[in-house]
Amino acid sequence: MVDAILNSGDTAWMLTSTALVMLMTLPGVALFYGGLTKKENVLNTIFLSFMAFSITSVIWVIYGYPIAFGTDVMGIIGSPTNILMNGIDVNALAPLAPTIPLLVYVAFQMTFAAITVALVSGAIVERMKFSAWLAFVPIWITLVYLPIAHWVWGGGWLAQMGVLDFAGGTVVHLNAGIAALALVLLLGKRKDIRLLPHNLGYSVIGAALLWFGWFGFNAGSALSAGGLAGSAFLATNTATAAALISWVMMDVIKTGKPTLLGAISGAIAGLVAITPAAGFVTVGGAIVIGFLVSIFCYIAISTVKSKFGYDDALDVFGIHGVGGAWGALATGIFAAPFVNSLGTGALYGNPGQIVTQLIGIAVVGVYTLIMTLIIGVVIDKTIGLRVELKEEVEGLDTHLHEESGYRI
Amino acid sequence: MVDAILNSGDTAWMLTSTALVMLMTLPGVALFYGGLTKKENVLNTIFLSFMAFSITSVIWVIYGYPIAFGTDVMGIIGSPTNILMNGIDVNALAPLAPTIPLLVYVAFQMTFAAITVALVSGAIVERMKFSAWLAFVPIWITLVYLPIAHWVWGGGWLAQMGVLDFAGGTVVHLNAGIAALALVLLLGKRKDIRLLPHNLGYSVIGAALLWFGWFGFNAGSALSAGGLAGSAFLATNTATAAALISWVMMDVIKTGKPTLLGAISGAIAGLVAITPAAGFVTVGGAIVIGFLVSIFCYIAISTVKSKFGYDDALDVFGIHGVGGAWGALATGIFAAPFVNSLGTGALYGNPGQIVTQLIGIAVVGVYTLIMTLIIGVVIDKTIGLRVELKEEVEGLDTHLHEESGYRI
Amino acid sequence: MVDAILNSGDTAWMLTSTALVMLMTLPGVALFYGGLTKKENVLNTIFLSFMAFSITSVIWVIYGYPIAFGTDVMGIIGSPTNILMNGIDVNALAPLAPTIPLLVYVAFQMTFAAITVALVSGAIVERMKFSAWLAFVPIWITLVYLPIAHWVWGGGWLAQMGVLDFAGGTVVHLNAGIAALALVLLLGKRKDIRLLPHNLGYSVIGAALLWFGWFGFNAGSALSAGGLAGSAFLATNTATAAALISWVMMDVIKTGKPTLLGAISGAIAGLVAITPAAGFVTVGGAIVIGFLVSIFCYIAISTVKSKFGYDDALDVFGIHGVGGAWGALATGIFAAPFVNSLGTGALYGNPGQIVTQLIGIAVVGVYTLIMTLIIGVVIDKTIGLRVELKEEVEGLDTHLHEESGYRI
Amino acid sequence: MKEITAVIRPDKMEVVKEALQEIQCNGVTVTEVKGRGRQLGITESYRGRDYKVDLLPKTRLEIIVNDEDVDSVVDTIVKTAQTGDIGDGKIFVSPVEEVIRIRTGERGEKAV
Amino acid sequence: MKEITAVIRPDKMEVVKEALQEIQCNGVTVTEVKGRGRQLGITESYRGRDYKVDLLPKTRLEIIVNDEDVDSVVDTIVKTAQTGDIGDGKIFVSPVEEVIRIRTGERGEKAV
Amino acid sequence: MKEITAVIRPDKMEVVKEALQEIQCNGVTVTEVKGRGRQLGITESYRGRDYKVDLLPKTRLEIIVNDEDVDSVVDTIVKTAQTGDIGDGKIFVSPVEEVIRIRTGERGEKAV
Ligand SMILES: Nc1ncnc2c1ncn2[C@@H]1O[C@H](COP(=O)(O)OP(=O)(O)O)[C@@H](O)[C@H]1O
Ligand SMILES: Nc1ncnc2c1ncn2[C@@H]1O[C@H](COP(=O)(O)OP(=O)(O)O)[C@@H](O)[C@H]1O
Ligand SMILES: Nc1ncnc2c1ncn2[C@@H]1O[C@H](COP(=O)(O)OP(=O)(O)O)[C@@H](O)[C@H]1O
């Protein structure tokens, strides 16, 4: 047990990590997605991430944090004390990270909630009503994200069962991927479902900032500045590089030509897959996890998606859903006790961890799917989910926002 | 009193913060402004920030730092010793931040001076002579920024009076806003005063990097990695999110459509307003400060500006001037002694702080306005402030720099 | 001697620095270069950096690190133990930086290797086969970068001779610049050798992120969060600002007009030149080093290059080669023992250091030149270095990658 | 030979192109333009101010055809590009005196 | 019917457009082009090297009018787009044989 | 007077421009366009799916000349823009009835 004494080094790293994770959403996700849509929708796409981040920021300090991380109530939910951070002393330390101030921990966790819902937006771009999104964000955070975060990270029942999720394979990525799938099932296909990125440069900037910020996401999840953070950092970078390379390989195998969109898609897939495993595996494990995730995602996107015909516009399910599930499972395989004593995977003699991980995946998947469908249907019946056809065809930027992305 | 012993955690956070604040100017402000101008002026607009940062960087290490932060001379100015950092040992600690190296403190403060003058450029874009700007930057830093920084932060008379300014509501934002106003009064209107952003994507990247870097600006102003930094961090993010939401609301109320430019403008306004208050207020206070600032700025820009007819091109006065003044005032209202024992606002039984804050606002406002007008007039009489009409109409990039922003 | 005890503050700073240096390549170098090429090659140009970073990342954890930094074998090479980081405990401290975890040190050094080879790509853009680049990266890292890094930083013979290179003037910049020269000699001129940047905004973002990340590169090379890091930080910023200003001056002198490309080129030149000196010189020294480097690079690019007629497309040799050599030499002149006891330059009574530095420059220059020529010739004979003329003229993006950068 | 210039809605481009292909009319040169006709402009608003944007994005097709094909091409475009709302666009037909295929140097009708 | 093609300075676009509107000439198709006439190019310089940019940005207006309106439109453009400096641009008038309004299928003068 | 419209490969622009300059044909208006002729399109692929891009980038030159210069201009373009491969482009010649130089108000042949 670590002594509950403020450690300025740990605090410095966690402040930095929090800022890094914030950067992942704004402008990371916003640009990554914005570059992939049609130019007539670039502003709307970016806007979705900005609203996701801002609404979540406010909710989190009002009641979100205690519900996810407050004193556990029967494994289900945290107790909603400390509304508006009331009663939290500036110098109080975090119960779950006793060397850093609690307020730093609150801010760090907030950025995770925000990016999760921002990720969902990639699936529904180019056709969802802006007002529907504004309603979706707070409801989904409250009814889906907060409980799941509590179950896995806040001392809830999945944590008690031993589900391992270092930085958010299930809580963040699988969760976002499944929610995305649920929404697109309700929303239906766009009239033009082609993926012809209007400005890959934006997506490149977004992807690189995601990679950069992800060091805060994963190495920050060590909650201290020591060996474990270093190990998670190196595992993260290694898996990402491996996944980038293997997606490019898949491109070459399938179409004969390596693509830059493939490369950055692979990088994101690698980052997703290593997320739950980062603080548990060796660099050898990281290479395998990264190398395989691109193959799985590539197949999901190029085969499964066209077979079933759902219109997951920017492949949120294909990358975050599939990659997050694979990462969570792989954690159960590759977790090495000499990296982190909290996790032992099948490869090191604990095959039961695979089962535990599968339960975690199934619970999160099913809960998110059902709840998101319900939320989506309710919004559809009240506000309506989808814009007018004319608005969709001519572009959301001028119709919904009276702005246009370029005057070049 | 903190012991004067190097704390590596504090130092790590201050090194990081310094880099973050640097990023706010380059490319933060540069891009935020660059995206909002006409495409024919994008390079010139960006260039202004680069020159502002570079000239200030050099001045600061030669004589700027000691004048602002050297031993106080009668409350007016610091004593100009340590020219070129001479006599400062690499391992010397900062008198005003005794757990970090003095050179780190010097670098941190330099980035504040640089961004202040870079912010001014937003008002005068699309028509100011480049050579006039090159003259303005060093003169203004020397005659306006250095004294004000000394008065408020360097132990000068305003500090002695008890004016509270955690990270620069008066020193940076009000100061920049008023200087901007002074310059545009001298420069006059552009021929085409419409605000039709040529590339909102740049402004989005700029705004997001500003938000990101501002964590260094505000949480870094705690000068250590502990509870106060955490509190300032969370207050900063919360106020920003609230301000973004309320600007979007104002958009909907006024034009019926939420705009992305409104969202990022609101975010900047929120960051500005929370700046002086970040290390003094609760998240509750932060929400109020943020929510209100967008309303004030929105009115200033859409009503006051068109009434008086000055051409503050990118609304530096409207956002930084108004927002900075509001933030400084709000600090006098919401400062909570249990957050930071150095500040108690009206809400916690010290109404006199409001008066003190108003004096700070008035002093900075009047001093900056008069000095900047004088500097501007002198430059106008010698170098000339404004470009030829033909250059203005056809664009500054090709005329002043023989370059063009896009070949797409 | 520092005690071998984990220091969380040092670790926090090194984790941050590692992330910062990663950002320099992705998207720093990628965007800086991408904006300068023709729009038909923007994706290919960016892609080269992504592949350089990813391939190096994987190689480094497999065998790169121990070869460069493992136990010295006769001053020539490190012993290749710890393949795949095997046998490195998560909590082991770095032999060469005994207050931080070894894995953090491994990650930090990896980012240096990656950026070095990514820098080379700037010379060969718009005409090199993608497959040839994929072959070049791992071979060059193995045969050129690893030995040189060992010689200068890993305790090899140049280190033993006393060559000073704080953060990579010879290992990174001179090395990249000479390799670039070697490759363009083999590749030949492009059909259209004009430098007409298609999107200077990208280059501005890239340059600013390089500047930002370089604080991790240089101040991170102190390997701890203390006075030396602060000094290196301030020297870095000062030299960069001075170099930006002097390049702009050269522009005005030569063409009468200051250019933004000149400004950012000057900034990069300044960053390059201060790199080997950052932890050894005063801010006075930094100003001189920065001010002069732009003049040298400007002359190299505008005069020498056109005289000899090699097609160093984006001036990798002209900026990194020339700037790196000047910086390495200048370290021998300006190194002040009161800044860092490890280095005393000619100005402080040790003229012999200049000779040592010149030997370092010569060894790295000659070794890199010869080895890169050999590697290049072998690749040319097997894979072929250059694309078809038609592909070159119509653009690499559509021909090699079946993608296009803009759909605006 | 005639030059048919059609200014249509950008989002109709795809269907028009396909319909033209079906009637063996392959050659076409396309330009992104902005235009104004009877259609009113749209409004964009920035920081609370409205700006009228009265030139709207349109797509301009330039098709050189032999005289006998003019009617079928024009009819095809009208049929596929029509929505019935203002802003559908216009077609202009002008005379062309000579056509040259650069690749072969062929001239006249066979070069079309 | 005639097609009037005017190539003007981009910064004159706004006034020309307004002047045309005043004489009830609303229909216009606008293209961003580059051009060269008597006007010398400009120079751009990158890293100390000068590059001649001899094609300068211009704005091209394409206006279809009935025969009787040609003169007033041409005069309006000349009057508003003139600065007297080289680079002011040119106007070309060509014959148009048929005009079709896509929305209604109307043809001829009433479709203009 | 005639209007010569040439649609050529973008990478041939530079040589064509220089060749035209040599025969004293300076005036030209250039537009970036996309086109389709006999040339097949190219394929772009994103995340494993292929998209046919059948409109390829071309450069369109518009040159107004006096009648006697038509042949030399056309010949020059054909000579310099030809590669012999499909996709070389096309040239169209149409009648122009009037030319006005905006700067001076001059009309007719001397305004060209
Ligand atoms: N007289 C004209 N001359 C040139 N272009 C025209 C003319 N009238 C219409 N256009 C073009 O056609 C487009 C669509 O016009 P539209 O608003 O549908 O007009 P209408 O309803 O009169 O057909 C315009 O944006 C413009 O580009
Ligand atoms: N002969 C021509 N053919 C096509 N376009 C022309 C011609 N002459 C001029 N232009 C167009 O008009 C623009 C302005 O020409 P300008 O330099 O003013 O020529 P002038 O002084 O001869 O009128 C040019 O940039 C070009 O786009
Ligand atoms: N009939 C036509 N009408 C308009 N433009 C045409 C026509 N035919 C060709 N073009 C233009 O010329 C370009 C090159 O055509 P190309 O493929 O070389 O055709 P071809 O081999 O028939 O000359 C096309 O991309 C298109 O822009």
**d(CA C397, ligand 3 centre) in Å:** 23
Q: What is the mean pLDDT of chain F?
A: 91
Per-residue confidence (pLDDT) for residue B334, from 0 to 100: 98
Query: Cα separation of A88 and A65, whole Å?
Result: 12
Q: What are B138-170's pLDDT values in tens digits?
A: 999 999 999 999 999 999 999 999 999 999 999
Name chain D contacts of F82, Cβ cutoff 8 Å: 102-103, 105
Q: Which two tokens stand for residue D39?
A: 């259609």
Contacts of residues C297-305 at CB distance under 8 Å and 24 or more positions apart, as own/partner, are C297/C247, C297/C265, C297/C266, C297/C269, C297/C322, C297/C323, C298/C247, C298/C250, C298/C254, C298/E47, C298/E48, C301/E47, C301/E48, C302/C254, C302/E47, C302/E48, C302/E49
Q: DSSP 3-state assignment of C111?
A: helix
In B141-282, alpha helices (H):
146-153, 157-161, 175-187, 200-219, 227-255, 260-274
Q: What is the pLDDT of residue E37?
A: 83
pLDDT value for A353: 98
Give CA separation, B354 vs B174, B327, B347, D38, in Å.
16, 11, 10, 58
| pLDDT confidence bin for A124, thresholds 50/70/90 | very high
> How many Å separate Cα B60 from the centre of its chain?
17
Minimum CA distance residue for ligand 2 atom 27: E35
d(C-alpha D80, C-alpha D19), whole Å: 7
Closest to A393 (Cβ–Cβ): which among D11, D43, D45? D11
**To test the ligand 2 pocket, which listed residue (F1, F5, F28, F30) has its Cβ within 8 A of the most ligand atoms?**
F28
- Amino acid occupying residue A321: G
| Beta strands at D90-95 and E49-53: parallel, antiparallel or unpaired | unpaired
C interface mutation test: which of A7, A31, A37, A283 has the most C CBs within 10 A? Answer: A283
By alpha-carbon position, which residue is closest to atom 13 of ligand 1?
Answer: D89
Residue B331 burial by Cβ neighbours in a 10 Å radius (0-12, 13-18, 19+): buried
Instruction: Average the pLDDT over each of B89-103, B282-296, E51-65 and give the range with the smallest value.
Output: E51-65
Q: For chain A, what percentages of helix, strand and coil (3-state, to nearest 5) are there?
A: 70, 5, 25
> Rounded distance, CA B98 to CA D91, Å?
77
Tell me the mean pLDDT in the region B248-255. 96
Query: Residue C3: what pLDDT?
Result: 73
- Residue among A230, A228, A311, A326 nearest A271 (CA): A326
Q: What is the F28 CA–ligand 2 centroid distance (Å)?
A: 6
Instruction: Tell whether F19 is within 8 A of chain D (Cβ).
Output: no
Tokens 């990125």 sit on residue: A197
Per-residue model confidence (pLDDT) at position C161: 97
Report residue C339's pLDDT band, with 50, 70 and 90 as the boundaries. Answer: very high
Place of tokens 């994008």: B42
Q: What is the mean pLDDT of chain C?
A: 97
Identity of the amino acid at A366: V
Q: What is the DSSP string of F40-81?
A: --EEEEETTEEEEE-SEEEEEEEEEE-GGGHHHHHHHHHHHH
Q: How many residues does chain B have?
A: 408
Name the residue among A141, A120, A110, A137 with its Cα closest to residue A51. Answer: A137
* Helix runs in C312-351, H state only: 316, 322-334
**Contact call for E102 and D91, based on CB within 8 A:** yes
Residues 6 or more apart in contact with residue B396 via CB below 8 angstroms: B40, B41, B43, B44, B126, B127, B130, B387
How many residues would you count in chain F? 112
The predicted pLDDT at position E109 comes to: 87
Judged by DSSP in three states, F95 sits in: strand
What's the pLDDT band for E50 if we cut at 50, 70, 90? confident
Give Cα A367 to chain centroid, integer Å: 16
Residue C369 confidence (pLDDT) above 80: yes
- C10 pLDDT higher than 80: yes
Specify whether the CB–CB gap between A197 and A191 falls below 8 A. no
C76-104: average pLDDT: 96
**Structure confidence at residue D40 (pLDDT):** 67
Helix (H, G, I), strand (E, B) or coil at C321: helix
C-beta neighbour count of A84 within 10 angstroms: 14
The more confidently predicted of residues E86 and C59 is C59
Question: What's the confidence (pLDDT) of residue F40?
Answer: 67
Which tops the pLDDT comparison, E110 or C3? E110
Looking at residue D54, what is its pLDDT? 83
Q: How many Cα neighbours within 13 Å face the side chain of B91? A: 6
Complex confidence, ipTM = 0.96
Q: Are C202 and B199 in contact (CB under 8 A)?
A: no
Amino acid letter, residue A197: P
User: In A119-269, at which residue ranges do the beta strands (DSSP E only) sit?
Assistant: none
B2 band by pLDDT with thresholds 50, 70 and 90: low
Question: Phi-psi region for residue B257, left (φ > 0), alpha (ψ -120 to 50) or beta?
Answer: beta
Residue from E11, C241, F34, F12 nearest B38 by CA? E11
Which tokens in the block code for residue B367? Answer: 């001093």
d(CA A143, CA A372): 9
User: Residue E93: closest CA among chain F residues belongs to which residue?
Assistant: F98
Interface residue E95 vs chain C (CB under 8 A): no
**Residue D84 in tokens:** 């019935």
Q: What pLDDT score does A3 carry?
A: 74
| pLDDT at position A63 over 90 | yes
Residue D6 contacts residue D60 (beta carbons within 8 Å): yes
Contact indicator for F24, F72 with CB cutoff of 8 Å? no
Instruction: Report how far residue A332's alpha carbon sits from residue A343's, in angstroms, rounded to the nearest whole number.
Output: 8
Residues in Cβ contact with C184 at an 8 Å cutoff, skipping those fewer than 6 apart? C123, C124, C310, C311, C312, C313, C317
Rounded CA separation A285/A288 (Å): 5
- What distance in Å separates the CA atoms of residue B317 and residue F64, rounded to the nearest whole number? 51
Tokens, residue E111: 């479709």
Interface of A with F in 86-145 (CB under 8 A): none
Q: Do A116 and A381 contact (CB within 8 A), yes or no?
A: no
Rg (CA), chain F: 17
Average pLDDT over residues A152-164: 97
pTM higher than 0.95 = yes
Residues of chain D under the 50 pLDDT cut: none
Cα gap A62→A80, rounded to integer Å: 10
Contact present, A218 and A236 (Cβ < 8 Å): yes
Contact of F47 with chain A, judged by CB distance below 8 Å, is answered with yes
As a whole number, mean pLDDT of residues C233-239 equals: 98
Q: Does pLDDT of B25 surpass 70?
A: yes
Could you tell me the maximum CA-CA distance found in chain B, to the nearest angstrom? 61
List pLDDT tens digits, range A302-360.
999 989 999 999 999 999 999 999 999 999 999 999 999 999 999 999 999 999 999 99
Structure confidence at residue F44 as a pLDDT band (50, 70, 90): confident
Rounded alpha-carbon distances, angstroms, from residue C365 to A31, C177, C179: 40, 9, 9
Tell me the average pLDDT across A233-250. Answer: 98
Average pLDDT of the residues in C350-379: 98
Chain B hits for D47, Cβ within 8 Å: 195, 261-262, 265, 298, 301-302, 315
Ligand 1 contact via E111 beta carbon (within 6 Å): no
Specify the DSSP class assigned to residue E53: E
Answer whether residue C293 shows pLDDT above 60: yes
Q: List the beta strands (DSSP E) in E1-112.
A: 2-8, 28-36, 42-46, 49-53, 56-65, 90-95, 98-101
- Give the residue from C271, C70, C280 showing the smallest Cα distance to C166: C280
Contact A103 B230 (CB under 8 A): yes
B4 pLDDT tier (thresholds 50, 70, 90): confident
Ligand 2 centre from E35 Cα, in Å?
Answer: 6
Q: DSSP state, F107?
A: B
Expressed in angstroms, the distance from the first to the final Cα of chain C is 59
What is the share, in percent, of chain A residues with pLDDT greater than 70?
Answer: 100
Query: Cβ of C301: how many Cβ atoms within 10 Å?
Result: 22
- Smallest CA separation from ligand 2 atom 19, residue: E37
Instruction: Give me the residue from C194, C254, C257 closest to E51, CB to CB.
Output: C194
Smallest-distance ligand from the CA of F66: 2
Which positions 181-200 of C are in contact with E (Cβ < 8 Å)? 194-197
Listed range (A123-132, A282-291, D30-39) with the worst mean pLDDT? D30-39
* Cα of B44 vs its chain's centroid, Å: 20
CA atoms within 13 A on the CB side of C313: 30
Asked whether residue B394 carries a pLDDT value surpassing 90, the answer given is no
The whole-angstrom distance between C252's CA and the closest CA on chain E is 10
Cα of E64 from ligand 1 centre, angstroms: 9
Going by C-beta distance under 8 Å and a sequence separation of 6 or more, which residues neighbour residue F68? none
Shortest-distance ligand to the CA of residue F37: 3
Cα–Cα distance between F6 and A266 in angstroms, integer?
43
Give CA separation, C118 vs C46, C113, C342, C385, in Å.
10, 9, 30, 17
